[in-house]
């Protein structure tokens, strides 16, 4: 690659400032005299949205394959499959002359109401990070870059350009940052996109701690940080914070502001040089892969092959939520196909990720292809808008009564779910609910097929159904994938990457969403998704990791590589999985970790590993899943690092978060030598929990216990018995200094001096 630093050194101040601001809506500024080409980026979490005119913010893009959206991809739990999809996306990017694909998004699904949840993977950071890394590695293996987004805490559409997400340090580190960290460290995306919102009062585009301290310095990110489109408020402040490229452009006022800031000493030119260096490196890296007609594949990609891949992925991600034995369909003679989405496929979301598909499978037609000689009847069932039309329901009821089976295609309309606005509720439309209730009342063999990007409430109608298939926003080939699953050509194996609640009021962020006065408090802290439902013992409709199959699986012989192990060594857990049914199927084995005792509060269990296994009937395979240091660690804000503690952990092996099949207990030995964080106001409990503090303080503690026990028991001056108090519990939560002040008359030196002496011994100790 051309000498990056040499180019930066030769650039003028004006050229460097211009390079750090977009030249158009989708391109960077080239420097022709130095041989630096422009870089062309395109929206693309699940397809390439390449506009014919890169200088315009229009919506009509060139044809490309529309793969399933992230919620459907996540339900595959298949890193290898996402890698394969990434390779296909890269080939299309090459054909369409795109250097960097803007995606994937790994923000957490804090609430199912977020309008953009269909673009995000999961409520669990481990799963989201692993899937994102797979997709990024696939795309970048072909010489096309990615842009990991939206960094960070972009978990709602309400006031997304200005809202301040107020998040405590542990929740930030354990929930909202790990998926980004995994993707950065495992896949090394070329770029990371900052989010619009503020994080704890500072715009993400100006957040030095996020963009520089954590992303670049701690995680070693060596690409460039780009703004979300229009996310920059103060260009100089953003540059100082670590935001390298502002998009879109052109914005000469921004360029001039940077030039002026350097000239007047407000901005160190070395900061600008570093931003320019990062952009130059990626631009030159992208140029190594010829694009369009100059590439090895030319300006055309294999649309048919990619459509077939999209169909495979869609089927792998569909989740069978309920089945009383009706599915797979067994040669029905008359099928009632009900629902507007059967003829007009609802396969993607609205907003910046909207793809112009190369073709679209119509669900009705795809069902017809596999239905043999069966008669198919279609009725719309519900209107395009939110109107209520009883005549459509009456027509559907009559059609369903005359058939052997009713297939109800229910799509959550864009006016309820789209980028740009959050959902007002988790309900289907009134018409859709009434339709399902009416049809199931007359036709017990009713299958509901859902097209949506996030959970919906089902408790008002699910009991009357024979089967429910969650098909998500399934991509352009999803109609065929639905037919494949319904008729058993594909055995469903998808599992939920997010919890389905019984009702909205049960959800973790319900009392802290969407915020007010420009602030949203993440009051649930660590406890989002299944972590919350576990802690509160709240019943759910369908748990995280849940999904049915046309076969059954048995788990046996759980093993660990070591019953006792050091944290830095990790441990491997294995289990035998047997297909005990009659058809080939895939099972997703999930491994959760439970800490039996911790100094800080921890969720009851956390996903730390998973594997997908393909089994013939009667076949058994051993699944082995490694667990590393981080699988057992939590983030301690006092120490500002990930911490492990000696003790026992339960390794829970399950088919879902609520279906734990095996438990193995292991003992971890921590290798950490943590410095003491004791200070003048530390409680006695803190002194006793600190290894060095306990050693230094324990003799004094015994003496204090005896004194306090006498002080809070016995008789009063009139001989009446005084009700004793638990002096040990009372004392533990008091600062040592306060306790000593109560005893100061009996002390040989001031309480402050005693505590200072103890602290000097603790902090001067060599561990």
User: What does the alpha-carbon distance between residue 33 and residue 19 come to, in Å, rounded to a whole number?
Assistant: 14
Question: Which H or E run contains 225?
Answer: strand 224-226
Residue 367 three-state SS: helix
Give yes or no for residue 741 having a pLDDT over 50.
Answer: yes
Supply angle C-alpha 27, 31, 32, rounded to 5. 110
DSSP assignment string, 227-244: --TT--S-HHHHHHHT--
Query: Residue 565 pairs with which residues in a beta bridge?
Result: 668
Question: Which H or E run contains 255?
Answer: helix 252-263
Predicted confidence at residue 240, as pLDDT, reads 98
Reference 526, options 180, 237, 127, 124; nearest CA is: 124
- pLDDT tens for each residue of 589-637: 999 999 999 999 999 999 999 999 999 999 999 999 999 999 999 999 9
Give yes or no for residue 704 having a pLDDT over 80.
Answer: no
Query: Are residues 474 and 490 in contact, defined by beta-carbon separation less than 8 angstroms?
Result: no
Q: Which residue has the higher pLDDT, 733 or 264?
A: 264
Give yes or no for residue 439 having a pLDDT over 50.
Answer: yes
Burial class of residue 12 in the structure, from the number of CB atoms within 10 Å of its CB (0-12 exposed, 13-18 middle, 19+ buried): exposed
Predicted confidence at residue 709, as pLDDT, reads 65
Give yes or no for residue 443 having a pLDDT over 50.
Answer: yes
End-to-end CA distance of the chain: 47
Predicted confidence at residue 652, as pLDDT, reads 98
Q: Where do the DSSP E strands lie in 339-452?
A: 375-379, 405-411, 446-451
Give yes or no for residue 717 having a pLDDT over 60.
Answer: no
Give yes or no for residue 80 having a pLDDT over 60.
Answer: yes
Reference 643, options 669, 670, 604, 676; nearest CA is: 670
Predicted confidence at residue 713, as pLDDT, reads 59
Query: Residue 323 pairs with which residues in a beta bridge?
Result: 467
Query: Residue 166 pairs with which residues in a beta bridge?
Result: 521
User: What does the alpha-carbon distance between residue 26 and residue 229 come to, in Å, rounded to a whole number?
Assistant: 10
Predicted confidence at residue 298, as pLDDT, reads 85
Range name among 418-422, 482-486, 651-655 with the lowest pLDDT average: 418-422
Phi and psi angles of residue 267, each rounded to the nearest 5 degrees, phi first: -120, 125
Predicted confidence at residue 686, as pLDDT, reads 92
Give catalytic residues, as residue numbers. Answer: 228
| Residues sharing a CB contact under 8 Å with residue 724, sequence separation 6 or more, in sequence order | 712, 713
Give yes or no for residue 437 having a pLDDT over 80.
Answer: yes
Give yes or no for residue 725 having a pLDDT over 50.
Answer: no
Query: Residue 257 pairs with which residues in a beta bridge?
Result: none
Q: Which domains does the chain have, with CATH numbers?
A: 310-542 (3.40.50.1700), 553-669 (2.60.40.10), 684-764 (no CATH)
Predicted confidence at residue 299, as pLDDT, reads 87
Phi-psi region of 694 (alpha: psi -120 to 50; beta: other; left: phi over 0): alpha
pLDDT band at 744 (very low <50, low <70, confident <90, very high): confident
Predicted confidence at residue 672, as pLDDT, reads 95
Mean pLDDT over residues 736-749, rounded? 85
User: What does the alpha-carbon distance between residue 436 and residue 441 come to, in Å, rounded to a whole number?
Assistant: 8
User: What does the alpha-carbon distance between residue 460 and residue 234 come to, in Å, rounded to a whole number?
Assistant: 49
Query: Are residues 360 and 369 in contact, defined by beta-carbon separation less than 8 angstroms?
Result: no
Mean pLDDT over residues 158-164, rounded? 96
Mean pLDDT over residues 189-210, rounded? 98
> Mean pLDDT of all residues in the chain?
95
Mean pLDDT over residues 125-145, rounded? 98
pLDDT band at 297 (very low <50, low <70, confident <90, very high): confident
Work out the percent of the chain whose per-residue pLDDT is above 70. Answer: 96
Query: Are residues 735 and 741 in contact, defined by beta-carbon separation less than 8 angstroms?
Result: no
Residue 288 three-state SS: coil
User: What does the alpha-carbon distance between residue 469 and residue 632 come to, in Å, rounded to a whole number?
Assistant: 35
User: What does the alpha-carbon distance between residue 334 and residue 125 come to, in Å, rounded to a whole number?
Assistant: 45
Predicted confidence at residue 100, as pLDDT, reads 98
Cis peptide before 339 (omega within 30 of 0): no
Predicted confidence at residue 765, as pLDDT, reads 57
Mean pLDDT over residues 214-223, rounded? 98
Predicted confidence at residue 731, as pLDDT, reads 77
Predicted confidence at residue 710, as pLDDT, reads 64
Pairing of strands 647-656, 585-595: antiparallel
What does the radius of gyration of the chain's CA atoms come to, in whole angstroms?
29
Predicted confidence at residue 156, as pLDDT, reads 97
Mean pLDDT over residues 444-452, rounded? 98
Q: Kindly report the pTM of this predicted structure.
A: 0.95
- pLDDT tens for each residue of 83-130: 999 999 999 999 999 999 999 999 999 999 999 999 999 999 999 999
Predicted confidence at residue 496, as pLDDT, reads 98
Work out the percent of the chain whose per-residue pLDDT is above 90. Answer: 89
pLDDT band at 766 (very low <50, low <70, confident <90, very high): very low
Reference 732, options 687, 667, 679, 674; nearest CA is: 687
User: What does the alpha-carbon distance between residue 43 and residue 59 come to, in Å, rounded to a whole number?
Assistant: 11
Mean pLDDT over residues 438-466, rounded? 98
Give yes or no for residue 51 having a pLDDT over 70.
Answer: yes
């Amino acid at each position: 690659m051309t000498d990056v630093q040499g180019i930066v050194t030769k650039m003028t101040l004006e050229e460097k400032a211009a390079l750090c601001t977009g030249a158009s809506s989708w391109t960077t500024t080239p420097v022709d005299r130095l041989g630096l080409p422009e870089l062309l980026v395109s929206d693309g979490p699940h397809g390439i949205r390449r506009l014919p005119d890169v200088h315009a913010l229009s919506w009509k893009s060139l044809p490309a394959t529309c793969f399933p959206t992230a919620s459907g991809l996540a339900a595959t739990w298949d890193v290898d499959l996402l890698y394969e999809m990434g390779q296909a996306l890269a080939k299309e990017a090459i054909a369409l002359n795109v250097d960097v694909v803007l995606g994937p998004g790994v923000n957490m699904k804090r609430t199912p109401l977020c309008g953009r949840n269909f673009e995000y993977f999961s409520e669990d950071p481990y799963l989201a990070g692993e899937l994102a890394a797979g997709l990024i590695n696939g795309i970048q293996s072909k010489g096309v870059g990615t842009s990991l987004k939206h960094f960070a805490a972009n978990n709602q559409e309400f006031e997304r350009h200005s809202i301040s997400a107020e998040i405590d340090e542990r929740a930030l580190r354990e929930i909202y940052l790990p998926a980004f960290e995994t993707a950065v460290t495992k896949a090394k995306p070329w770029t990371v996109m900052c989010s619009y919102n503020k994080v704890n009062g500072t715009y993400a585009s100006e957040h030095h701690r996020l963009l520089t301290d954590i992303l670049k310095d701690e995680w070693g990110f060596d690409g460039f940080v780009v703004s979300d489109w229009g996310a920059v408020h103060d260009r100089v402040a953003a540059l100082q914070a670590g935001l390298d490229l502002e998009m879109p452009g052109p914005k000469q006022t921004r360029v001039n502001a940077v030039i002026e800031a350097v000239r007047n000493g407000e901005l160190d030119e070395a900061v600008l040089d570093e931003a320019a260096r990062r952009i130059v490196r990626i631009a030159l890296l992208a140029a190594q892969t010829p694009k369009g007609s100059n590439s090895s594949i030319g300006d055309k990609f294999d649309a048919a092959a990619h459509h077939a891949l999209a169909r495979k992925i869609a089927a792998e991600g569909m989740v069978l939520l309920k089945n009383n034995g009706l599915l797979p369909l067994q040669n029905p003679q008359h099928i009632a196909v009900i629902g507007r989405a059967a003829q007009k496929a609802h396969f993607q979301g609205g907003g910046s990720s909207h793809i112009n598909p190369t073709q679209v499978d119509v669900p009705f037609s795809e069902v017809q292809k596999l239905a043999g000689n069966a008669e198919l009847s279609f009725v719309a069932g519900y209107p395009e808008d939110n109107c209520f039309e009883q005549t459509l329901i009456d027509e559907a009821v009559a059609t369903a009564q005359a058939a052997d089976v009713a297939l109800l295609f229910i799509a959550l309309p864009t006016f309820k779910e789209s980028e740009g606005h959050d959902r007002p509720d988790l309900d289907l439309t009134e018409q859709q609910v009434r339709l399902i209730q009416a049809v199931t009342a007359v036709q017990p063999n009713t299958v509901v097929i859902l097209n949506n990007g996030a959970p919906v409430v089902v408790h008002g109608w699910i009991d009357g159904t024979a089967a429910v298939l969650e098909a998500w926003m399934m991509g352009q080939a999803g109609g065929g994938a639905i037919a494949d699953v319904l008729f058993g050509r594909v055995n469903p194996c998808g599992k939920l990457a997010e919890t389905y609640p019984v009702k909205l009021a049960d959800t973790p962020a319900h009392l802290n969403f969407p915020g007010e006065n420009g602030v949203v408090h993440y009051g649930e802290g660590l406890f989002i998704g299944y972590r919350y439902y576990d802690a509160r013992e709240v019943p759910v409709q369908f748990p995280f990791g849940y999904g049915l199959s046309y076969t059954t699986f048995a788990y046996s012989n759980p093993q660990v590589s070591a019953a006792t192990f050091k944290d830095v060594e990790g441990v491997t857990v294995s289990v035998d999985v047997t297909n005990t049914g009659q058809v080939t199927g895939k099972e997703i084995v999930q491994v959760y970790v439970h800490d039996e005792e911790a100094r800080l509060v921890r969720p009851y269990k956390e996903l730390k590993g998973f594997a997908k296994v393909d089994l013939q009937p009667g076949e058994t395979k051993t699944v082995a899943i490694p667990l590393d240091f981080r699988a057992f660690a939590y983030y301690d804000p006092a120490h500002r690092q990930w911490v492990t503690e000696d003790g026992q952990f339960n390794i829970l092996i399950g088919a879902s978060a609520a279906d734990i099949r095996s438990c193995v207990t292991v003992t971890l030995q921590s290798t950490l030598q943590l410095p003491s964080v004791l200070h003048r106001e530390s409680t006695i409990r803190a002194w006793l929990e600190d290894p060095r503090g306990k050693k230094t303080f324990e003799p004094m503690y015994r003496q204090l216990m005896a004194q306090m026990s006498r002080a809070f028991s016995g008789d009063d001056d009139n001989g009446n018995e005084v009700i004793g108090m638990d002096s040990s519990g009372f004392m533990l939560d008091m600062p040592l200094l306060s306790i000593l002040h109560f005893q100061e008359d009996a002390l040989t030196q001031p309480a402050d001096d005693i505590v200072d002496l103890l602290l000097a011994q603790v902090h001067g100790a060599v561990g």
